[in-house]
Amino acid sequence: MQHINHGNNHHEMKLEHGKLHVFANEEIFQSFESKVYEMANNNLRIPRNVYMSYTPDAHVGVGTCIGTTAVWRMKDGCVSPSIVGVDIGCGMRVHTTPLHRNDIQDKGVRRALISAIEKYVPTNERTNSHYADIDLLNIVKHGLLGLPEKYVPDNQWMTHVEQSSFQFDHAYLENHLPPRIQKNAHGQLGTLGGGNHFIEIQYLEINEEQRELAAKWGLFEGQVVVMIHSGSRAWGAMLGREYTRSLKEAMELWGVQNPDPNLIYAPIASQEGGAYLNLMYSALNFAVTNRHMIAFGVREAFREVFGSALELPVLYDLMHNYALKEFHDNKPMLVHRKGATRALPPQHFLNTPAYRATGHPALIPGSMGTSSYIMIGREEGSKNFYSICHGAGRARSRRATKELVTIDQFQQSLRIGTEDEVLVNHRSLETILDECPQAYKDVDAIIDSIVGASLADVVAKCKPMAAIKGI
């Protein structure tokens, strides 16, 4: 393996089957284990790869590392469920409020908010959606455009998103869906899910150099915001499992082999690849609508506590698990991002119209008890197909975390007992110990890597005040 250091946190690794670009500062770069390069080399065996990279939060996943950007040409390339991820369309959403941190500094107010949010947003896997009146097929066909009007507070909820509706051939819904998918998924619209999904109440610290941009986005120092992390729930999970199985069978028929049996792919032009790609877009429609409905519930909770006149404008909604057709250098490409966030600069044509002039907010969560970030993409990001990190990235597995981290250490991370305590919705921290900050990399080092690589800049740091986790 040959290593070329291009400077500015940009490393190029020449592996047996192709080139891997790694964007990380020295501390993070040295922390990568050999397995991440082994997985990259396997991924690069997929024919006609155009580009592949890791962001600094990269870590071992199933078939492909989380933190991967991988690109193929639409005309002769491949699509891979392994480089999309199981939670298709998983992503971030931020809503602003007119509140200042002082308005919710009192723990009683924050506990009231947590209680209200749990009332409107199911966080228990056994609790069904509050929105049984929503036609699920309308949602998976049309995304936000399939919602009844009463669930759209204003037009901004439709326009301040990466994409409100993903177009695909609806005929695939008739012939290629896994059994029971509609039944399983219908009860989950507007629900949080478990694992690393969350709703977090935060306050902002604005980057001095970006105050003008922050003001244009409606952000101010000390402002209370709500960050949401969730995805496509059962709809995406069942599609992912079904098409991992069917594409694997097709690969065996074609005689295609790879050292990693979990790495699955097919030509875009094949029947199997086309079916997966079309149905993946249905999962993206579910995911963006799921976050919308979670946010709708959060809005109801805030209004219950602070009065019915309170509004929660959308800052932005984006994904970090998907494969999307994009034009780069006027050529149609299929850009896979698995645990990677698109961060477009000002005036880029792919920006949603609401953010064409300024560039859009790139939303990067930290871990429980640590800061999250709102960033803005830079022109130089073109060298990485405008991909940046999607979070802190796991440093150790869930099992290892439970073995190595104590409840006392977790409590210290959340500043339990202090005025600045990060309140959580779980009576026992033991139930969410595998999501403690010690399970993740240092998010500040991750952000330093991205800024140092000139991929994006920090607009605001989001400091946690309360966290709602699913179980």
Please give the positions annotated as active site.
390
300: burial class by Cβ within 10 Å (0-12, 13-18, 19+)? middle
Nearest to residue 297, comparing CAs of 100, 99, 113? 113
- CA torsion, points 172, 178, 184, 185, in degrees to nearest 10? -30
User: Count of CB atoms within 10 A of residue 60's CB?
Assistant: 16
